[in-house]
C-alpha cells in the first residue's frame, strides 16, 4: 500500500511509466524500476 501512495506523489508522465513497470514486475516477478 505504501508503494501505491508513492505513485500519487509522482507526476502523471512518471506515474504511467512507473505503473507499467509495476505491472511488468508482476509478470516477470521482479521489483519495479521507478
pLDDT tens-digit series, residues 1-32: 556 665 566 566 766 676 777 777 777 766 55
Please tell me the pTM assigned to this model.
0.30
Q: What is the pLDDT of residue 21?
A: 76
Distance from C-alpha of 34 to C-alpha of 22, rounded to nearest angstrom: 8
Q: What is the pLDDT of residue 26?
A: 75
- 7 Cα distance to chain centroid: 7
Q: What is the pLDDT of residue 31?
A: 59
pLDDT reading at 34 higher than 60: no
Tell me if 34 sits within 8 A of 18, measured CB to CB. Answer: yes
* Secondary structure in 3-state letters for 1-34: CHHHHHHHCCCHHHHHHHHHHHHHHHHHCCCCCC
Q: What is the pLDDT of residue 20?
A: 76
Amino acid at each position: 500500500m505504501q508503494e501505491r501512495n508513492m505513485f500519487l506523489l509522482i507526476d502523471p508522465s512518471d506515474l504511467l511509466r512507473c505503473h507499467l513497470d509495476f505491472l511488468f514486475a508482476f509478470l516477470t516477478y521482479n521489483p519495479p524500476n521507478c
